[in-house]
């Protein structure tokens, strides 16, 4: 990574519902096209990760969430930028999912998450989440 490379801080929501977890597929027009990710977005200056996550989920999907446990941050270096993910386990409080940015969503049991073609930065988050599931944090 060059000295001028961009580093962004991003939140992501591991949204649970009825024993399943939401995965969102990036649109063909987005960076990392058609890769799967946990929904969320860039943290604005002066914004907490929780505030960012609430704002992004309303903007991207039209839903309001209850933010639960935070998971360890994860950093990944892509060829042109680096990202630090700030993951949170969430549940939907209100609203019905309407996709404003993503191509598709799918609800999967946690043990099936690995079957998708994930954005590389999200892969360690899946590992942290599955470890928490095994530890019985619910």
For the residues 9-33, what does the mean pLDDT come to? 95
Helices (H) and strands (E) in the chain, counts: 2, 8
Domain annotation covers residue 100: yes
| Number of structural domains the chain divides into | 1
CA distance 114 to 13: 16
pLDDT band at 2 (very low <50, low <70, confident <90, very high): very low
Query: Which residues fall within 8 angstroms of residue 125, CB to CB, at 6 or more apart?
Result: 12, 14, 38, 71, 74, 85, 87
**106 within a domain of the structure (yes/no):** yes
Q: Is residue 31 part of a domain?
A: yes
Whether 47 is in a domain gets the answer: yes
**Considering the domain boundaries, does residue 1 fall inside one?**
no
Mean pLDDT of 104-108: 97
Residue listed under structure tokens 């063909």: 28
Q: What is the pLDDT of residues 60-104, one digit of tens each?
A: 999 999 999 999 999 999 998 999 999 999 999 999 999 999 999
CB 88 within 8 A of CB 12: yes
Q: Return the SS3 of 79.
A: coil
Domain that holds residue 37: 6-135
The runs of H, that is alpha helices, within the chain are: 49-61, 123-135
Beta-sheet strands, E only, within 31-128: 36-37, 40-42, 64-70, 74-77, 81-94, 104-108
Whether residue 53 lies inside any domain: the answer is yes
CATH code of residue 41: 3.90.79.10
């Amino acid at each position: 990574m060059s000295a001028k490379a961009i580093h962004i801080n991003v939140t992501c929501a591991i949204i649970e519902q009825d024993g399943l977890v939401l995965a969102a597929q990036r649109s063909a027009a987005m960076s990392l096209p058609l890769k799967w990710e946990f929904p969320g977005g860039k943290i604005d200056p002066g914004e907490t990760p929780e505030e960012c996550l609430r704002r992004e989920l309303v903007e991207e999907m039209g839903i309001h969430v209850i933010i639960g446990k935070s998971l360890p941050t994860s950093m990944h270096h892509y060829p042109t930028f680096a990202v630090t993910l700030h993951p949170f386990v969430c549940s939907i409080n209100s609203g019905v999912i309407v996709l404003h940015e993503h191509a598709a969503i799918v609800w999967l049991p946690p043990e099936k998450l690995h079957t998708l073609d994930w954005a590389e930065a999200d892969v360690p988050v899946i590992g942290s989440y599955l470890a928490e599931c095994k530890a019985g944090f619910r």
